[in-house]
Structure 1
Amino acid sequence: MTALPLCQSISPGAGSGATDRCHLSYEDRFLRRKVLRSENGVEFLVDLESATHLNDQDAFML
């Protein structure tokens, strides 16, 4: 099994300069630990300290 890139922090409002994107439904924006796939097919593991609600333009820091 290949190790996935790990995201342990979110940068609020930093998505405008992103190199890739993830489209999440309103319900999917509330998360703590989950594997996501970007538009370009990159899978990564989100593993945050606590459950977090993401806003539009928030960025996953990989």
Structure 2
Amino acid sequence: MDKDRVIGSAKVVKGKVKEAVGKAVGDAKLETEGKADKAEGKVQNIVGGLKDALRGE
């Protein structure tokens, strides 16, 4: 498993937490940061998956 997949998954989780906290406290900026972190994590996870596929894992 490529390290990008692990890091990407962690960013998705971090983004979900930020988004939930932002919604709970009414902080639109924090909520938006959470959504951005989730999107970045998903992309990084996809990149890691492609690297794994190219290596034949």
TM above 0.5, one fold? no
Q: TM-score, normalised by structure 1?
A: 0.20
- Of the two, which has the highest radius of gyration? 2
Q: TM-score, normalised by structure 2?
A: 0.21
